[in-house]
Amino acid sequence: MTEKDANQMWGGRFQMSPAEIMEVINASIDFDKRMAREDIAGSRAHAEMLAASGIITQDDRAAIDKGLVQIQSEIEAGTFQYSRALEDVHMNIEARLKEIVGEAAGRLHTARSRNDQVATDFRLYVRAQIDEFDAALAKLQFALAKKALVNAATVMPGFTHLQPAQPVTFGHHLLAYVEMFGRDRGRFQDARKRLNECPLGAAALAGTSFPIDREKTAKALGFDRPTANSLDSVSDRDFVIETLAAASLCAVHISRFSEEIVLWVTPQFGFLKLSDRFTTGSSIMPQKRNPDAAELCRAKVGRIAGAMQSLMMVIKGLPLAYSKDMQEDKEVAFDALDSLRVAVSALSGMVDDMEPVAENMQKAAGYGFSTATDLADWLVRELKMPFRQAHHVTGSIVAAAEKRGVDLGELPLKAMQEVEPSINDSVFSVLSVENSVASRTSYGGTAPHNVEKMAKRWIAQLDSEVAGG
């Protein structure tokens, strides 16, 4: 390609081609070519509007549309040749369009700029990603809810500070993540609502003097409306940052669950088993089964949250409207969204694959005097003791059990009565972990009946979404 060819899209006033390093730093085609489908969709809608508005002829529109459809076919077939000298996906497609349809291709860029073109393409791309995440997260929630239903009565320890706190059920624990990922879906959906305005027609920054119909192009591309301010239209990247913020929090939730999986498959916990499908071995220690999938999911949050911070730092100092700095928005966003997609899929697979070791969970549920709160509640309920006094009495009983090296349910009644004479043998009915979880019947509590009911509600809600996806 000659210097003239390289500059033909914008180089009318330039006498020399860019320096070699300028081509390297300026070109974005290596990563923005993934928006080719969106660019072609935007160009087809723009050409249709130009013709309907009498700005170009129907013959030119037909030629442009036919050429763009051919280019889409070439891209899908892997035969399209991208050129770094043409900088980005927009110019690569336009240059190929000119080869196919000739002079008509030059009329496509009437009443638009690369500034509103890329803003439109990127919104279309991010919107599609959000829709994919919504479907993937629904599938993850469905897997969790199904596993929760099966384990509605599987007792395990509940922790605070990673110390045994109160018994819960494994199903209840899994449903906590169903709630988290439900909020993540809500955040993505909120971001989509604000994203769904069309910048096309804002042109470089000031709008255009051509009699365009922005409502028409917005509708054709599935947007709710055109953006209302041309300066904001081309300079706004809130929609990417907000999506990355939602992605970051979703990745945090994935990381938290992945950390628990990593802990729970250790021999020290022994709560879960993962199959060969989601574990790897060691090159030197033949006995090892490493939860690498969970560890990698745990790590993805760094890349995803880092992308959000990176883009915020790019945008924070930019005056209106467009600056070339904004080219830095795509590579980090693409990497972050790719990383989240992989993590959601891998976690869904692990949820389907994991098998709880119920006997280990139940045994551990009794460690650390986990039914102490049940004892305090019994003192309040049966002996009408003020809770603070009951808390103190229970603490003394726990100390007595600890001194003897036994759990609360194994402590003799006489030893309890030495602390509080009014205690009778009915206290033992609340000191088993099974009775403890069964008693937590308040809305949102861990009682197996509650868990079963909530899991079924989620499964009914998600079944049609997953089937539809």
Q: Verify whether residue 161 is a known catalytic residue.
A: yes
Contact 365, 438 (CB under 8 A): no
Q: Distance between CA 51 and CA 111 in Å, rounded?
A: 12
Q: Which of 17, 73, 109, 161 is catalytic?
A: 161
Rounded Cα–Cα distance for residues 441 and 199 (Å): 52
Active-site residue identified among 282, 323, 396, 429: 282
What is the Cα–Cα distance from 7 to 134, expressed in whole angstroms?
42
Other C-beta atoms closer than 10 Å to the C-beta of 268 total 7
Q: Let me know if 173 is a catalytic residue.
A: no
Q: Which of 295, 344, 278, 285 is nearest to 132 (CA)?
A: 344
Both ends of the chain: CA-CA distance in Å?
45
Q: Looking at the annotation, which residues are catalytic?
A: 161, 282
